[in-house]
Structure 1
Amino acid sequence: MKVTLHKDFIFGKAEQWTMTSKDERVYQITVSLPKHARHLSDVPVLYVLDGDAYFTMFREMIQLQSRRSDKTGIKDMAIVGIGYGADRSFHSNRVYDFTPPSHSLSLPIKPDGSPWPDSGGADKFLAFIEEELKPELEACYSFNKHQQMIFGHSLGGLFTLYTLFRKPTAFQRYFACSPSIWWNEKMIVEHVTQLMFEREDVRQNIKLFMAAGTEEKPFLLNDAKEMRNLLTDAGMETLFVEGQGENHASIVPSIFSTGMRYLQAE
């Protein structure tokens, strides 16, 4: 089915609309443009997963700090939030979109005892971003195709890593916060070797920032450290930071500026 695009409203220098993918999944897309950029092709673009939860916060943090980028190290940039337009920050559809496909599935029991939502749609979600969303945005805004970054937290962090392994050229900068490496008995680790087969110049053009909090469940922290070691051995520039005293929720705002400084640095 052809993608349908319907603009809802504009606030400030941000625009928001709903977008229906070819496989009938509906997303709320929110775009914030840099205040003083003469040409959008000159500025980087940050794609934010779980846009319902994080878009507004990131927009305000970047706009505030970019006023004195010489002091903060944070440059202004375009921001694209990918959400679901729900009345809650984290929609259950994210489980399907952010998790890799698998012939078998082994998951722990959810804390509340409820069944897991459908999963395994990461390839379709990546195709939506690459083949439908990006072309639409590039047609509207002429975004730079070579200065693109993706942020994901928790399951969004898992998708960020999966994208890095499946199609590393989709973005040049990757920000994985508390990634759910544990998903399906750490099946994401199997994909690390795919980077080994990429050309060296492809690997050298990529940077990854990962973080996890010391007050999160220990396996989240340890899994991220192990992933950092694997990727360093694969020859990719990777920085991992422990958020001292931070838990699974507080790690995002506390570590965001550190990650952005690292990923925006030349």
Structure 2
Amino acid sequence: MSTTRELSYPHLGCEEHVIYAGARRLEYRILISHPSGEAPPEGYPVIYALDGHAVFHTLAESARLQTRKPHGYDPVVVVGIGYPSGEPFDMKRRCYDFTMPAEEEQLPKRPDGSQWPESGGADSFLDTLQKEIMPLVSGLFPVDTRRQALFGHSLGGLFVLHALFNRPELVTHYAAGSPSVWWNDYALYSELEQFAAAYPAMNLQRKLMITIGAEELEHMVEDAAKLPGLLAPLAEHGLQTSLNEFAGESHVSVLPAALSRLLRFALEKE
């Protein structure tokens, strides 16, 4: 069940859907920006963005500007997935939704010394995204299933990589911003190895974009830079991987630059 209300940006044609989803029937706030023109014959491309209350309005406004005719990209549906707190980064909810199971001793100490919130719900959230949120959107708009993108930042970037490695059929474009590859002592590398072994037989054309700020923590920059090399052998099997490093940007300031590059990544045609 969901309820709908208009957001306070009517010129963007935005609306919010409140849904209760997943096995735990957790509450989500689904922020949707209507496309600015008629759908192409194949339907609208869609961008799904995690941490919706942190990135939605910036992304929706950027899309409104960059899809203006006659020279803009095709109109796009922008979907922000947020939480009832309305916080830009709801640590309790995102830590559960975006991470794989981990033991506390496998995680770094938090800056304030507190314990990590409950983690390990990534697969459950993948189900929610695939079976409840995406059908909600396709019920509202004609969707081009060949141009759907998923963006996440930090732990959200970790989730995007987890989604690619485990459900490469979910979307066509995966955008991992400042991914927390370090989670659970780099257990993601095991997922990458299994994915690399299986992908050549899948006959899929997929794109992965990794973004990072050059002034982020050294290990974060190094981890991001390492991924394209690990995935390079899959290029001949249909996986295009790119890395965008933004000079002078830190872990949070990099977001606007990453979102601008996301639009080109998701909407630019071959």
Normalising by the residue count of structure 2, what TM-score does the alignment of the two structures yield?
0.89
**1:89 aligns to what?**
88
Q: Does 1:53 align with 2:54?
A: yes
**1:238 aligns to what?**
241
Q: 1:52–1:204: structure 2 CA closer, same or farther, 3 Å change rule?
A: same
| Cα contact 2:148–2:266 (8 A) shared by 1 | no
Q: 1:69–1:211: structure 2 CA closer, same or farther, 3 Å change rule?
A: farther
Runs of 5+ unmatched residues, structure 1? none
**1:76 aligns to what?**
75
Q: How many residues align?
A: 261
- Aligned pairs for 1:141-220 within 5 A: 141-200=141-200, 202=202, 204-220=204-220
Q: Does 1:7 align with 2:4?
A: yes
- Give me the CA root mean square deviation: 2.1
1:104 deviates by 7.5
1:119 deviates by 0.3
Q: 1:201–1:77: structure 2 CA closer, same or farther, 3 Å change rule?
A: farther
1:49 deviates by 0.2
Deviation larger for 254-263 or 90-99: 254-263
Q: 1:68–1:229: structure 2 CA closer, same or farther, 3 Å change rule?
A: farther
1:108 deviates by 0.8
Distance 2:70 2:193 in 1: 37
1:69 deviates by 7.0
Aligned-pair identity (%):
34
The one-letter code sitting in structure 2 at the alignment partner of 1:205 is: Q
Distance 1:75 1:201 in 2: 32
Distance 1:196 1:89 in 2: 34
| Cα contact 2:97–2:124 (8 A) shared by 1 | yes
Could you tell me which of 244, 258, 261 is aligned with 1:258?
261
Q: 1:74–1:36: structure 2 CA closer, same or farther, 3 Å change rule?
A: closer
Deviations 1:195-233 (A, max 9, x none): 234454746510011011111000001001111111112
**2:252 aligns to what?**
249
Runs of 5+ unmatched residues, structure 2? none
- SS of the residue 2:250 aligns to: coil
Deviation larger for 61-70 or 28-37: 61-70
Q: 1:189–1:104: structure 2 CA closer, same or farther, 3 Å change rule?
A: farther
| Cα contact 2:16–2:29 (8 A) shared by 1 | yes
- SS of the residue 2:58 aligns to: helix
Deviation larger for 83-92 or 121-130: 83-92
1:95 deviates by 0.4
- Aligned pairs for 1:56-135 within 5 A: 56-67=57-68, 70=71, 74-92=73-91, 93-102=93-102, 106-135=106-135
Q: 1:108–1:82: structure 2 CA closer, same or farther, 3 Å change rule?
A: same
- SS of the residue 1:144 aligns to: strand
Deviation larger for 33-42 or 85-94: 33-42
Distance 1:162 1:53 in 2: 21
Normalising by the residue count of structure 1, what TM-score does the alignment of the two structures yield?
0.90
Deviations 1:156-214 (A, max 9, x none): 00000000000001010011110000111111111012323445474651001101111
The one-letter code sitting in structure 2 at the alignment partner of 1:7 is: T
1:102 deviates by 4.4
The one-letter code sitting in structure 1 at the alignment partner of 2:34 is: L
Deviations 1:4-26 (A, max 9, x none): 21113355322212110132211
**1:36 aligns to what?**
37
| Cα contact 1:169–1:202 (8 A) shared by 2 | no
Q: 1:211–1:15: structure 2 CA closer, same or farther, 3 Å change rule?
A: same
Distance 2:178 2:69 in 1: 29
**2:223 aligns to what?**
223
Distance 2:265 2:138 in 1: 25
Deviations 1:99-155 (A, max 9, x none): 013477611110011111000000000000111111222223232222210000000
Q: 1:261–1:113: structure 2 CA closer, same or farther, 3 Å change rule?
A: same
Distance 2:40 2:244 in 1: 33
